[in-house]
Structure 1
Amino acid sequence: MPPATRRKRGEGQWALGYREPLNKNEENKKNDDGLNVRRRILDIYSKQGFDSIDPADLRGRFRWYGLYTQRRPGIDGGKTAVLSDEELDDRYFMLRVRIDGGQLDAAQLRTIADISVKYARGTADITDRQNIQLHWIEIENVPAIWEALEAVGLSTTEACGDTPRVIIGCPLAGIAADEVIDGTPQIREVAERYIGSPEFSNLPRKFKTAISGCGAHCTVHEINDVAFVGVVNDEGEVGYDLFVGGGLSTNPMFARRLGAFVAPERLPEVWAGVTSIFRDYGYRRMRHRARIKFLMADWGPEKFREVLEKEYLGYALPDGPPPAPPLPHRDHVGVHPQRDGLFYVGFAPRAGRVNGELLHTIADLAERYGSGRVRTTAEQKMVILDVPAENTEPLAGELARHDLQVRPSTFRRQTMACTGIEYCKLAIVETKQRAMDLIDELEKRLPDFDQPLTINVNGCPNACARIQVADIGLKGQLVVDENGDQVEGFQIHLGGQVGASFGKKVRGLKTTSAGLTDYVERVVRRYDEQRRDGESFADWVGRADEADLR
């Protein structure tokens, strides 16, 4: 057999006729569609309890409905890669509420708040994909949670798993003064037509989508599997530029432009075409090579576009222009005018951490000072829409009383953290509290620092908090301290920029968790002292002496 044929067969690509599962995950998906687990949760597991759950459902198909077992308390990071799932599993779940486009009304936000208080010990975290995650969920309560969510138009369907996950969109869709196009109709149509459909419920791995016409590019299209970015073509028509193949984790790659212009009415079928290519040609042999970015790396954008047009669409897409460059801040924090004369008010919790009572308060404030419309962002922030000018400062003051800052420090505004060892079975170190403590300390030590600076804190190598595209990216790992003891710490990535470059790793540059604040203070002070007028942190890292980065 020729080498090329052998390689393709070894990747398990369906389109080439190779359907036999090549690993346990693929075998589980072939045995039963993940969507079918809903009925077992309702009829069996929620009634008979945790011990009745089939392991293939517990650690596989449950994800199709946003459920992961969380980490059993008391297991240190050194055991993460040593213990089996059975040993790491707690009898409680993380539940991810899917919020396409980050769009919520007050009733929906109150429902999530009620679920948090009643079933999740008050926990709630805003993710960097606009979802809200809850913890301490018991299987017996899942049917009641679903019923409450679905009554207000929310769900957990395909919030996790090898599926098309939440579709992220600009929180200002439809109201931003500088918006190229409102992506809301396309987000809704894709979600209604394809989410929860067996057509795309067995993909090689997770599949992340962004659809936005935001001038700031707040959906970070460069690191999504597929992204549609608002543009205006030479004929003055408004539509989307198409990007495919972005993703981070242990092999970061930026999405590639296909150079195609997608008219709004064609977007759902183009999305389905791209997703179908992933389903049919995606690599299924090894989980760590199963994302669409690896297919794009092998094919290139020209071949990908050719296959999309000839095999899936049946027509050629017109060429189109690239989007404008992003703005320095992509997070929509602060008080800003809408196109209709009202204002939006964006605010920053600490590292995305909120709670059920706070979500209730935010819903109340959104109704009292605005229209009740609330948005989550892809930077772990929130936005209240439709605020009259005279209400903006009273609202900002009320939010500040609850430690929700409308005019936050650089460190509050631009620090992000994943779930970490508190709940995640993959994590090696603590992240959320570490990030919150870091914010507090840096605000005390560097009160006048006001340059844009992203600090992303991740508990393992998987980059849920985008460490490779942060100014200071912190990858959790065990390190050796000055006494020779193994302790929690971080490998440091410096000078990453979304869509431009991945962070630089300086040989041997690590810090203990205890020494983290001292390190960050030191490197930020050096940047502030040495930066040229208008020079970004990433540009400074590119020219700085290695000694100044340590």
Structure 2
Amino acid sequence: MTDTAPASPAPRARREGPRDEGQWALGRREPLNTNEEIKKDEDPLRVRERVEQVYAHHGFASIDPDDLRSRLRWWGLYTQRRPGIDGGRTAVLAPEELEDEYFMLRVRIDGGRLDLRQLRTVADISVRWARGTADITDRQNIQFHWVRIEDVPEIWRRLEEVGLSTTEACGDCPRVVVGSPVAGVSADELLDATPAIEEITARWIGDPTLSNLPRKYKTAVSWLPDIPYEINDLAFLGSVHPDHGPGFDPWVGGGLSTSPRLAERLGAWVALDDVPEVWVAVTRLFRDYGYRRLRGRARLKYLVADWGVERFREVLEGEYLKRRLPDGPPPVLPAAPLDHIGVHRQRDGRYFVGAAPVAGRLSGEALARLADLAEGHGSARVRLTPYQKIVVLDVAEPASLVGALRAVGLEAEPSSWRRDTMACTGIEYCKLAIVETKERAATLIGELERRLAGEALDIKVNVNGCPNACARTQVADIGLKGQLVTGPDGTQTEGFQVHLGGGLALREGADGRFGRKLRGLKTTAAELPDYVERVTRAYLAGRKDADETFAEWTVRATEDELQ
């Protein structure tokens, strides 16, 4: 295959069933839904010109609706939710009724890597133009809120001046490439994947031949299994080949939302230098063969599910790579999951210190103070993790840093609840959300720290504002999907459907699986701390021994124990 999207692709053998899925490789070039029409009309990346030349000068009211609700996403911009609109109206109001005249702006931070100049720039932008907001996402991004379109060109200029961008942070394109936050310093790492991530982002982020994919495209490259590799469209994980040595094991077809699917091993082995080539080959395959008829079936996971990995690999190697990849072994997983919280020795004898904010929520002021603390302790680098945490690298004397971070709202010795709770943006800013999440997660953490003090626990709680699973509802020990439920007084109120016992294969002997859903198992938001305390105490009383995990217990627990 060439590296361009052909205007009229050559005819190929039909590879799917009788239903027309709008696949370019099969000659289906006419758009089959509104989103595809918008992308065909103009490369969404070109909207930047209008932001800089028109919208920033004439304000929100001047923005074309197709740009506002579609193309701006390719530059990290989503309108945020208008304050005061309750969750019951999320699905019934028109977009123009839901949206405010302010934006969320997502900064892509590939591999979670920030030097101090970049960190200070992000902090300054937060304070100047985003009312101090700076949330860490579970894909190693930073999200600002309250951004005005008038300020976006200057924000772009400041970010790009220090090597950051918002290019394709959202949209139907290659999103941020997730990587290990301790790449290059971990004593357990055999290969540093950073060069592959750098080559991918330098060569193909912003490439117009890849800016019109069927849907969002999430990828990851890491030697260590400290990333959620099973829920990416494409992921590369470290693996040692018996003949070729250290390399990477590719996985394809993962994703969550309302139809979750775990990625599968391709069964191949990829050398570090070849990771970018395989990455772009899979991306082009998705571009050409991905489904474009129904937006709800446009993720890569549907193609992999229909084809199977054997056929997927056959097309990848035969039509795109033009060579066969060696077969390879699966990765070797560690004895315990890696989240890098606390103090850890690096391979060079220095230390990295991982710390947890509350559910990913920070501020520009806190990030500026973090930069000063890192510099004062000899560090010039920090990392964001795909679990909404922060890691400071290259620390010579970590003990004093632990205490200093606490004063900034970053806890390097957190309770298990603070360590293991994530939350999406929620109804505060998100137009899709039904319930509030960030403050609710903070309240939950505080209550559980008080009620279950002294208990040694490892229970992951993911709080989601809607069914889209941005905070990974289905793969948490306790996954909470926001919805309206009936309260004690019979009225509709904010609450959650509960998923129990989900998880990813991040340690030896673990299998990735989705959480158990019991019929009618819901809780109101007000009763959430009571419910989590109750099910946790049932686990402590009913587990076989201290080694039985919460997820393992939920498989055999009775419905009464899980209520």
- Please say whether Structure 1 and Structure 2 have the same fold, judged by a TM-score greater than 0.5: yes
The amino acid across from 2:520 in the alignment is G
The amino acid across from 2:424 in the alignment is C
Q: Distance in 1 between matches of 2:201 and 2:453?
A: 44
The amino acid across from 2:213 in the alignment is L
Q: Distance in 2 between matches of 1:450 and 1:160?
A: 39
TM-superposed CA distance for 1:7, in Å, is: 4.8
Over 3 Å counting, the alpha-carbon distance change for 1:535 and 1:6 in structure 2 is closer
The residue matched to 1:11 in structure 2 has which SS?
Answer: coil
TM-superposed CA distance for 1:528, in Å, is: 1.1
- The partner residue of 2:466 within 444, 450, 460 is 460
Q: Distance in 2 between matches of 1:290 and 1:269?
A: 23
Q: Distance in 2 between matches of 1:401 and 1:133?
A: 22
Say if 2:540 is the partner of 1:532: no
The amino acid across from 2:328 in the alignment is G
Aligned to 2:139: 129
Matches within 5 A, 1:77-476: 77-214=87-224, 217-235=225-243, 237-388=245-396, 391-476=397-482
- Alignment check: 8 A CA contact 2:56 2:150 kept: yes
The residue matched to 2:100 in structure 1 has which SS?
Answer: strand
Q: Distance in 1 between matches of 2:381 and 2:216?
A: 29
- Normalising by structure 1, we get a TM-score of 0.98
Q: CA RMSD in A?
A: 1.1
Q: Distance in 2 between matches of 1:8 and 1:203?
A: 22
TM-superposed CA distance for 1:329, in Å, is: 2.9
The residue matched to 1:123 in structure 2 has which SS?
Answer: coil
The residue matched to 1:425 in structure 2 has which SS?
Answer: coil
The amino acid across from 1:300 in the alignment is G
Aligned to 2:523: 511
TM-superposed CA distance for 1:9, in Å, is: 5.4
Say if 2:544 is the partner of 1:544: no
TM-superposed CA distance for 1:311, in Å, is: 0.2
- Alignment check: 8 A CA contact 1:180 1:231 kept: no
Q: Which stretch of the first structure deviates more once superposed, 157-166 or 528-537?
A: 528-537
- Normalising by structure 2, we get a TM-score of 0.95
Q: Distance in 1 between matches of 2:17 and 2:36?
A: 18
The amino acid across from 1:50 in the alignment is F
TM-superposed CA distance for 1:325, in Å, is: 2.2
Over 3 Å counting, the alpha-carbon distance change for 1:221 and 1:8 in structure 2 is farther
The residue matched to 2:523 in structure 1 has which SS?
Answer: strand
The amino acid across from 1:393 in the alignment is A
- Alignment check: 8 A CA contact 1:13 1:282 kept: yes
TM-superposed CA distance for 1:452, in Å, is: 1.2
Q: Distance in 1 between matches of 2:82 and 2:102?
A: 8
Q: Distance in 1 between matches of 2:153 and 2:105?
A: 12
Q: Which stretch of the first structure deviates more once superposed, 263-272 or 346-355?
A: 263-272
Q: Distance in 2 between matches of 1:296 and 1:383?
A: 35
Over 3 Å counting, the alpha-carbon distance change for 1:421 and 1:376 in structure 2 is same
- Alignment check: 8 A CA contact 2:502 2:513 kept: yes
Q: Distance in 1 between matches of 2:334 and 2:386?
A: 15
Q: Distance in 1 between matches of 2:112 and 2:334?
A: 20
Superposed CA deviations along residues 20-64 of structure 1, whole A, max 9, x for unmatched, are 000000000000011100111000100111011000000000000
TM-superposed CA distance for 1:497, in Å, is: 1.1
Over 3 Å counting, the alpha-carbon distance change for 1:433 and 1:106 in structure 2 is same
- Alignment check: 8 A CA contact 1:170 1:219 kept: yes
Q: Distance in 2 between matches of 1:24 and 1:296?
A: 24
- Alignment check: 8 A CA contact 1:370 1:384 kept: no
The residue matched to 2:485 in structure 1 has which SS?
Answer: strand
- Alignment check: 8 A CA contact 1:9 1:16 kept: no
The residue matched to 2:269 in structure 1 has which SS?
Answer: strand
TM-superposed CA distance for 1:530, in Å, is: 1.5
In the alignment of these two chains, the number of paired residues is 543
The residue matched to 2:134 in structure 1 has which SS?
Answer: strand
Superposed CA deviations along residues 309-358 of structure 1, whole A, max 9, x for unmatched, are 00000000000110012553332111000000000000000000000100
Aligned to 1:522: 534
Q: Distance in 2 between matches of 1:401 and 1:94?
A: 27
Question: Percent identity over the alignment?
Answer: 63
Superposed CA deviations along residues 205-224 of structure 1, whole A, max 9, x for unmatched, are 0000100001xx11111110
The amino acid across from 2:551 in the alignment is A
The amino acid across from 1:162 in the alignment is D
TM-superposed CA distance for 1:6, in Å, is: 9.0
Q: Distance in 2 between matches of 1:318 and 1:166?
A: 28
Q: Distance in 1 between matches of 2:488 and 2:19?
A: 50
Q: Distance in 1 between matches of 2:379 and 2:409?
A: 22
Q: Distance in 2 between matches of 1:450 and 1:96?
A: 36
- Alignment check: 8 A CA contact 1:9 1:18 kept: no
Over 3 Å counting, the alpha-carbon distance change for 1:156 and 1:5 in structure 2 is closer
Aligned to 1:55: 65
Q: Distance in 1 between matches of 2:384 and 2:345?
A: 18
Q: Distance in 1 between matches of 2:275 and 2:451?
A: 49
TM-superposed CA distance for 1:181, in Å, is: 1.3
The amino acid across from 2:269 in the alignment is F
TM-superposed CA distance for 1:279, in Å, is: 0.4
Q: Distance in 1 between matches of 2:116 and 2:84?
A: 37
Q: Distance in 2 between matches of 1:325 and 1:250?
A: 28
Q: Which stretch of the first structure deviates more once superposed, 234-243 or 500-509?
A: 234-243
Q: Distance in 2 between matches of 1:330 and 1:61?
A: 37
The residue matched to 1:349 in structure 2 has which SS?
Answer: coil
The amino acid across from 1:85 in the alignment is P
- Alignment check: 8 A CA contact 1:180 1:232 kept: no
Query: Structure 1 runs of 4+ off > 4 angstroms?
Result: 4-9
Q: Distance in 2 between matches of 1:408 and 1:326?
A: 22
TM-superposed CA distance for 1:199, in Å, is: 1.4
Q: Distance in 1 between matches of 2:319 and 2:408?
A: 54
Superposed CA deviations along residues 376-433 of structure 1, whole A, max 9, x for unmatched, are 0000000000001xx2110001011223110101100000000000000000000000
TM-superposed CA distance for 1:371, in Å, is: 2.0
Unaligned residue ranges in structure 1 (runs of 5+): none
Q: Distance in 2 between matches of 1:457 and 1:327?
A: 27
The amino acid across from 2:165 in the alignment is S
Superposed CA deviations along residues 61-102 of structure 1, whole A, max 9, x for unmatched, are 000000000000000000000001110010000000010000
The amino acid across from 2:420 in the alignment is Q
Q: Distance in 1 between matches of 2:414 and 2:425?
A: 22
